[in-house]
Amino acid sequence: MITIDSLTRRYGGFTAVDDVTFTARAGRVTGFLGPNGAGKSTTMRIMVGLTPPTSGTAEILGRRFAELPNPGREVGVLLDASAQHAGRTGREILTIAQRTMGLPKESVESTLARVSLTDEEADRRVRNYSLGMRQRLGIGTALIGEPEVLILDEPANGLDPAGIRWMRDLLRRFADDGGTVLLSSHLLHEIEVIADDLVVIGQGRIVAQGSKAELLAAAGTLVRTVDPAGLARALDHENITSVRNPDGALRTDADPALVGRIALEARIALTELRAADGAGLEEMFLELTAASQRETHLDHPEGAAA
Amino acid sequence: MSATTTPVEAVGSTRRTRSAPAPIPMTRLLDTELRKMFDTRAGFWLMGSIGIAAVIASVATMLFAPDSALTYESFSTAIGFPIAVILPMIAILSVTGEWSQRTGLTTFTLVPSRGRVIAAKLLCTLGIGIASMFVAMLIGAVGNVVGSAVNGVDTVWGLDATQLALIVLANVLGMLVGFMLGVLIRSSAGAIVGYFVYSFMLPTVFGLLWTFQDWFRDVHGWVDFNSASMVLFDDTPTGEQWAQLGVTGLIWLVIPTLIGLRLVMRSEVK
């Protein structure tokens, strides 16, 4: 389980990660979705102790990452498949991980088989690897310690369709076995097919989170008001949960008639009230992407890199 | 987070029960760090270059030195020069590789305690440095015996254990300088350039000051780390020279190393 609480990271005046709170649960695949530069990679780097947070905490299995006695045995991490020594062979990179974690020698061979790298490929130097092979090797490094938690940043990058299918099945099995999987992507459909839960981030802030079923549900109501916070409170009071779109509209599973009645009782004026059209998440995600593309992040170090 | 979020119902926990793994012992870090110094072609040949340089320097001394100069001191001086340049490079690259090759992303997630990783690197570098110096001395000794026999002169040693120990100390200081530049700059190219500035430009500047500024002559010994450590190659330092080595070492080695270590601990690894 991964627990992120009020995590914030600033670079000068730029807030790359802004008060992010979410939980990735055991037995589920949590998709961390957001356009490029939204703060996904920074959040993941903070989780594994590579970037210090400005404030807030990130805990994995109830502890800060730095407190894990042998992190590779508990958390498998792949942040960037290109960040491997070009002069080492794939087998050597796994051997270093195996020795650091104190694993039996055979785990290198079994991991190579698990990520479908042949003997010949394993003896090649990484500089001669395709991006897809680097991803497989990186996933191998993450898996070799038989961890309980996987943290993967854009693991599908560079994989061919068969490779994506392979990874999807692998992560599914890992979660079904009781493991926790957090994987990021900037592609909605990629996450949609694999994730149980979704956390959507844009410009450093979480804009939506919940189970995929809830977020993608066709049923529900879309409601606009000049006082969305007030309406959300009023709905919450009636035990109706709602999700706020970036444009200020609220979406909820409740029936439009019920939402209208609650708004009337709370004396909150509505500007729009209708049945949601189902593609809520996709719409919201497109808006997010468009918003971040309109803004230039040139003066921010994270704009392009994250 | 401003949005009201939908809670996800707790999933029936099927988490495997498992015991917490034992912490990573230092011996394992030493083992992997040592391995990482040899497991690329570049690393392997950098290490190999010590032996190669020692053999070439010995052969050259045998061939070109006049009979009177066929002493162990000549051999060790000839071998010592290339080694004094190679060892700091090994120290630099052992640290900067994690940043320049971006392997730090994996290294520091497998071992979050960066201090322990850096300590393991330092111990491996020093161990390799000292071991290679003994190998080089041995090659020099063989060269001396063979050289004097071939040229038909008596085998002259002319270096005692104290002097050898001081030479080892001087090389260790050189490696520590490389290590310091590694943690301070954390980029292979930058740190190597830094090393040449440090060991060739600074002495030139100090030399100019010494020549043209009278006041500088009085303080020179207390600010020039390079010349303070060079003494170790030639003589047994006097008490004052030891003190000068300590003071200049504090300024040019200890303090920058501490700053560098602080940067290593706090900086982002990307």
Residue for token pair 């599908």: A156
Integer angstrom CA distances of residue A261 from A16, A125, A244: 40, 66, 19
Name which of A276, A221, A215 is nearest A254 in CA terms. Answer: A221
Query: Inter-chain contact A214–B5, Cβ cutoff 8 Å?
Result: no
Query: What value does the CA radius of gyration of chain A take, rounded to a whole number of Å?
Result: 21
Contact indicator for A290, A24 with CB cutoff of 8 Å: no
- Average pLDDT estimate for A277-285: 67
Contact indicator for A25, A180 with CB cutoff of 8 Å: yes
Nearest to B3 among A83, A88, A208 (CB): A208
Per-residue pLDDT at A217: 63
Q: Which of A125-129, A131-135, A266-270, B91-95 has the lowest mean pLDDT?
A: A266-270
Q: Which two tokens stand for residue B154?
A: 């008596």
Per-residue pLDDT at A44: 97
Query: Inter-chain contact A27–B32, Cβ cutoff 8 Å?
Result: no
Per-residue pLDDT at A279: 58
Query: Inter-chain contact B28–A241, Cβ cutoff 8 Å?
Result: no
Q: How far apart are the first and last CA of chain B?
A: 27
* Residue A64 DSSP one-character state: -
Beta strand A149-153 with A14-24 is unpaired
3-state secondary structure of A102: coil
B contact test, residue of A70, A74, A95, A123 with most B CBs within 10 A: A70
Q: Which of A51-55, A74-78, B158-162 has the lowest mean pLDDT?
A: B158-162
Query: Inter-chain contact A80–B21, Cβ cutoff 8 Å?
Result: no
Q: Which residues of chain B does A211 touch, with a Cβ-Cβ cutoff of 8 Å?
A: 6, 8
Per-residue pLDDT at B12: 39
* pLDDT tens readout for residues B203-241: 899 999 999 988 888 888 899 999 899 889 888 899 999
| Å between B94 CA and nearest CA of chain A | 13
Is residue B5 predicted with pLDDT exceeding 60?
no
Q: How far apart are the first and last CA of chain A?
A: 23
- Average pLDDT estimate for A89-99: 97
* pLDDT tens readout for residues A193-240: 899 999 999 889 998 888 887 777 655 788 899 888 899 899 888 888
| Å between A163 CA and nearest CA of chain B | 23
Nearest to B23 among A51, A69, A205 (CB): A69
Residues 102-161 of B with CB under 8 A from A: 102-106, 108-113
* Residue A177 DSSP one-character state: T
What's the gap between Cα B243 and its chain centre?
A: 22
Q: Which residues of chain A does B11 touch, with a Cβ-Cβ cutoff of 8 Å?
A: 25-28
Q: Which residues of chain B does A28 touch, with a Cβ-Cβ cutoff of 8 Å?
A: 11
Q: Which of A68-72, A248-252, B192-196 has the lowest mean pLDDT?
A: A248-252
Nearest to B266 among A52, A83, A95 (CB): A52
Nearest to A178 among B15, B43, B268 (CB): B15
B119 pLDDT tier (thresholds 50, 70, 90): very high
Q: Which residues of chain A does B109 touch, with a Cβ-Cβ cutoff of 8 Å?
A: 48-50, 65, 71-72, 75, 77, 79
Is residue B4 predicted with pLDDT exceeding 60?
no
- Average pLDDT estimate for A114-122: 96
Q: What are the DSSP calls for A232-267, one per residue?
A: HHHHHHTT--EEE-TTS-EEESS-HHHHHHHHHHTT
B contact test, residue of A100, A209, A214, A253 with most B CBs within 10 A: A100
What's the gap between Cα B55 and its chain centre?
A: 21
Contact indicator for B118, B269 with CB cutoff of 8 Å: no
Is residue A303 predicted with pLDDT exceeding 80?
no
Is residue B13 predicted with pLDDT exceeding 90?
no
Per-residue pLDDT at B19: 73
The CA distance from B19 to B25, in Å, is 18
Is residue B258 predicted with pLDDT exceeding 90?
yes
Residues 6 or more apart whose Cβ sits within 8 Å of residue A176: A27
Residues 6 or more apart whose Cβ sits within 8 Å of residue B244: B221, B222, B228
Surface-to-core class of residue B18, CB atoms within 10 Å of its CB (0-12 exposed, 13-18 middle, 19+ buried): exposed
Query: Inter-chain contact A69–B20, Cβ cutoff 8 Å?
Result: yes
- Average pLDDT estimate for B148-174: 88
B14 pLDDT tier (thresholds 50, 70, 90): very low
3-state secondary structure of A28: coil
Residues 6 or more apart whose Cβ sits within 8 Å of residue B201: none
Is residue A268 predicted with pLDDT exceeding 80?
yes
* pLDDT tens readout for residues A240-264: 888 887 778 888 878 888 889 999 9
Name which of A205, A198, A194 is nearest A172 in CA terms. Answer: A194
The pTM of the full predicted model, rounded to 2 decimals, is 0.82
| H or E element in which residue A207 lies | strand A205-211
The CA distance from A286 to A295, in Å, is 14
Per-residue pLDDT at A252: 83
B contact test, residue of A25, A96, A241 with most B CBs within 10 A: A96
> How many CB contacts within 8 angstroms connect chain A with chain B?
157
Contact indicator for A253, A212 with CB cutoff of 8 Å: no
Query: Inter-chain contact B5–A28, Cβ cutoff 8 Å?
Result: no
Nearest CA in chain B to A249: B3
The CA distance from B156 to B260, in Å, is 44
Residues 207-266 of B with CB under 8 A from A: 266
Instruction: Return the HEC string of chain B.
Output: CCCCCCCCCCCCCCCCCCCCCCCCCHHHHHHHHHHHHHCCHHHHHHHHHHHHHHHHHHHHHHHHCCHHHCEHHHHHHHHHHHHHHHHHHHHHHHHHHHHHCCCHHHHHHHCCCHHHHHHHHHHHHHHHHHHHHHHHHHHHHHHHHHHHHHHCCCCECCCCHHHHHHHHHHHHHHHHHHHHHHHHHCCHHHHHHHHHHHHHHHHHHHHHHHHHCHHHHHHHHHHCHHHHHHHHHHCCCCHHHHHHHHHHHHHHHHHHHHHHHHHHHHCCCC
Is residue B136 predicted with pLDDT exceeding 60?
yes
Query: Inter-chain contact A85–B5, Cβ cutoff 8 Å?
Result: no
A contact test, residue of B14, B18, B106 with most A CBs within 10 A: B106
Nearest CA in chain B to A84: B103
Query: Inter-chain contact A70–B21, Cβ cutoff 8 Å?
Result: yes
| Å between B251 CA and nearest CA of chain A | 30
* Residue A66 DSSP one-character state: G
Phi, psi of A43 (to 5 degrees): -60, -45
* pLDDT tens readout for residues B82-101: 899 999 999 999 999 999 99
Nearest to A50 among B4, B108, B113 (CB): B108
The CA distance from B263 to B178, in Å, is 16
Q: Which of A255-259, A299-303, B255-259 has the lowest mean pLDDT?
A: A299-303
Integer angstrom CA distances of residue A93 from A79, A292, B36, B103, B258: 15, 37, 9, 10, 31
Residues 4-23 of B with CB under 8 A from A: 4-8, 10-16, 18, 20-23
Nearest to A80 among B7, B105, B111 (CB): B105
Name which of A29, A57, A26 is nearest A43 in CA terms. Answer: A57
* Residue A149 DSSP one-character state: E
Phi, psi of A91 (to 5 degrees): -65, -40
Nearest CA in chain B to A197: B8
